[in-house]
Structure 1
Amino acid sequence: MTESLAAPVTDALLRVQRSSGVSLAFAGMVQNGRGVRLSRFVGPTVGALDGVAVELGHGLGGKVVTLNRPMVVDDYLRTPRITHRYNSVIAAEGLRAMAATPVVVDRAPIAVLYLAVHTDDPIGDRALDALAVESRALEQRIVASRASVAAAGADADADSLRIRLTEAYAQLRDLARSVDDEALATQITQITRTLLDDEAQATAVAVELTRREQDVLALAALGYTNARIAENLGIGVHTAKGYMKDVLRKLGAAGRLEAVVIARRAGLLP
Structure 2
Amino acid sequence: MGASLPHHAPVPERSSSGVRAAVGAPDELSDAQALDHAVAELVRRTRFPVAFGGLVLDGAIHVTSIHGARTHSLDGLVVEQARGLGGRALIEKRPRLAIDYRSARSITHDYDRAVLGEGIATLFAVPILVSGRARGVIYCGSWAEAPVGDVVARPAFAVADELSSELRIRDEVQRRLALARAMPGVSPALPAAAQEGLRETYAELRSISALVSDPAIRARLDRLEQRVAALSSDAVEPLAELDVRLSPREVDVLACAALGSTNAEIAATLDLKEGTVKSYLQSAMAKLDASTRHAAVVMARRAGILP
Report the TM range for the smaller structure's normalisation. Answer: 0.5 to 0.7
2:44 aligned to which of 12, 15, 18 = 18
Q: Is the 8 A contact 2:62 2:76 kept in 1?
A: yes
* 2:110 match: secondary structure: coil
Deviation at 1:133, TM superposition (A): 0.8
TM-score by length of structure 1 reads 0.56
Please tell me the root mean square deviation across aligned C-alpha atoms, in Å: 2.2
Matches within 5 A, 1:175-190: none
Return the letter of the residue paired with 1:108.
R
The alignment status of 1:58 with 2:104, answered yes or no, reads: no
Deviation at 1:65, TM superposition (A): 1.1
Please give the alpha-carbon distance, in whole angstroms, between the structure 2 residues aligned to 1:44 and 1:111.
Answer: 20
Matches within 5 A, 1:1-270: 2-3=22-23, 4-33=30-59, 35-158=60-183, 160-162=185-187
Please give the alpha-carbon distance, in whole angstroms, between the structure 2 residues aligned to 1:31 and 1:157.
Answer: 25
Where in structure 1 are there 5+ consecutive unaligned residues? 165-264, 266-270
Higher radius of gyration, 1 or 2: 1
Please give the alpha-carbon distance, in whole angstroms, between the structure 1 residues aligned to 2:188 and 2:115.
Answer: 58
* 1:14 match: secondary structure: helix
Deviation at 1:158, TM superposition (A): 4.6
* Count of matched residue pairs: 164
Compared CA separation, residues 16 and 161, structure 1 to 2 (3 A): farther
Return the letter of the residue paired with 1:75.
D
Q: Is the 8 A contact 2:102 2:116 kept in 1?
A: yes
Match of 1:171 in 2: none
Return the letter of the residue paired with 1:6.
A
Please give the alpha-carbon distance, in whole angstroms, between the structure 1 residues aligned to 2:166 and 2:114.
Answer: 31
Q: Is the 8 A contact 1:95 1:117 kept in 2?
A: yes
Compared CA separation, residues 32 and 106, structure 1 to 2 (3 A): farther
Compared CA separation, residues 74 and 163, structure 1 to 2 (3 A): closer
Please give the alpha-carbon distance, in whole angstroms, between the structure 2 residues aligned to 1:58 and 1:118.
Answer: 22
Return the letter of the residue paired with 2:185.
S
Return the letter of the residue paired with 2:74.
L
* 1:77 match: secondary structure: helix
Return the letter of the residue paired with 2:171.
R
Return the letter of the residue paired with 2:170.
S
Please give the alpha-carbon distance, in whole angstroms, between the structure 2 residues aligned to 1:161 and 1:136.
Answer: 41
Deviation at 1:45, TM superposition (A): 3.0
Please give the alpha-carbon distance, in whole angstroms, between the structure 1 residues aligned to 2:54 and 2:171.
Answer: 19
Please give the alpha-carbon distance, in whole angstroms, between the structure 2 residues aligned to 1:47 and 1:102.
Answer: 23
Match of 1:207 in 2: none
TM-score by length of structure 2 reads 0.50
